[in-house]
Amino acid sequence: MSETVSYAIGSGVLRLIAGDITTDDGDAIVNAANSALAGGGGVDGAIHRAAGPKLLAACRDIIARIGRLPAGGAVITPGFDLPARHVIHTVGPIWRGGNDGEAEALRSAYAQSLARAAEANLTTVSFPAISTGAYGYPLDQAARIALETLGQGLESGPVREIRVYLHGKNAFDLWRSVAEALFS
């Protein structure tokens, strides 16, 4: 049983879950992708492995149509072999010290992912801790931006349940302390 904490926000709920996002069976999971939507390591690699090769083919079709996805952008595909019905692919910023628009791009990655979910009439969306692995965003700063943006999304938008999957107990405890300060 994964560790979970929940916060009522507006008429919705935000849950923090210590666990693997590829097991999520909601309307959509969000992938922390790269601008080429080419697959990679971390959560991106795990999602592509679990979804099967059709996911990469769908990503290639999108890149052929729109070109590279900038940091802060988001696009949606089916979930293929995943339990979740869709994958929303977003690109977080690469951390370059904090004065290169990283906060705005990270906020946009969360907000644009919620916008794709709303357009597709989805009500349950799950996120990883975007940019906090290979892209090096400090975990505490990322948590504050993510939770503020997701809280605003629950207050204003059609999405009713947001789950954030944290990989490892340290990340879970840190995000929980930021969430307690913001929502309790």
Locus of tokens 């004065």 = 99
Q: Which residue has the tokens 């977080």?
A: 92
Taking a C-beta distance cutoff of 8 angstroms, is the pair 91, 71 a contact?
yes
- Under rule CB under 6 A, residue 133 binds ligand AR6: yes
List the interface residues with ligand AR6, window 81-100 (CB under 6 A): 92
- Shortest approach of ligand AR6 to residue 10 CB, angstroms? 25
Q: Which stretch binds ligand AR6 (CB under 6 A): 38-46, 64-72, 118-126, 150-158?
A: 38-46
In the complex, the smallest distance separating the C-beta of residue 11 from ligand AR6, rounded to whole angstroms, is 27
> Per DSSP, what are the bridge partners of residue 124?
161
Asked if 129 is part of the footprint of ligand AR6 (rule: CB under 6 A), the reply reads yes
* Between 116 and 167, CB nearer to ligand AR6: 167
Q: DSSP of 116-148, one letter per residue?
A: HHHHTT--EEEE--TTSSTT---HHHHHHHHHH
Phi, psi of 134 (to 5 degrees): -55, -30
Helix, coil or strand: residue 51: helix
Task: State yes or no: residue 33 binds ligand AR6 (CB under 6 A).
Answer: yes
Among 118, 139, 9, 140, CA closest to 74: 118
Q: Which residues sit opposite 164 in a β-bridge?
A: 16, 127
Q: Which is nearer to ligand AR6, 94 or 120 (CB)?
A: 94
User: Catalytic residues, which ones?
Assistant: 44
Question: In terms of CB distance, is 29 or 159 closer to ligand AR6?
Answer: 29
With CB under 6 A as the contact rule, the residue among 89, 116, 163, 167 that binds ligand AR6 is: 167
| Contacts to ligand AR6 by CB under 6 A | 20-22, 32-34, 40-44, 46, 92, 128-135, 165, 167, 171
